[in-house]
Amino acid sequence: MDKKILIIDDELDVMKMLVYRLKAKGYEIVTASNAKEGISTAKKETPDLIILDYRLPDAGPLEVPRKLKEEEALRNTPVILVTASIDGIAEKAKECNAVDYIPKPIDPDELYKKIEKHIK
């Protein structure tokens, strides 16, 4: 069975690039374009890993990770943040209970390495 990755990002170009690259690597991909949809999709799909945009227009940066951790089935699901704002990102990732982060623009090789490192 393919590993399932949920991508939560409001930038369509970033979403398309991630979907294309990760499907080519054999991952099953589900997507959401905002926080509310992302939380709902995560509950329904129980992904193996979540790629989360740090700044979503409908939620603060800590809201989505906090709500995900409230769900028993998602509590141990690794979250990788993606963000264009890299100032203090390591600390921000810790605050969000994220296992890692990837700066935008996304380097595909770095993306693959981090996913392989954290996916179950």
Q: Give me the CATH number covering residue 96.
A: 3.40.50.2300
35 by Cβ neighbours in 10 Å (0-12 / 13-18 / 19+) ranks as buried
pLDDT band at 43 (very low <50, low <70, confident <90, very high): very high
- The pLDDT assigned to 88 comes to 74
Q: How many CB atoms lie within 10 A of CB 55?
A: 15
Report whether pLDDT(55) > 70.
yes
- The pLDDT assigned to 1 comes to 55
CA–CA distance from 2 to each of 36, 40, 97, 105 (Å)? 25, 21, 25, 26
Domain encompassing residue 110: 4-118
**Which amino acid is located at 67 in the chain?**
K
Q: Count structural domains, the chain.
A: 1
pLDDT in tens, 73-111: 999 999 999 988 777 777 878 888 889 989 889 999 999
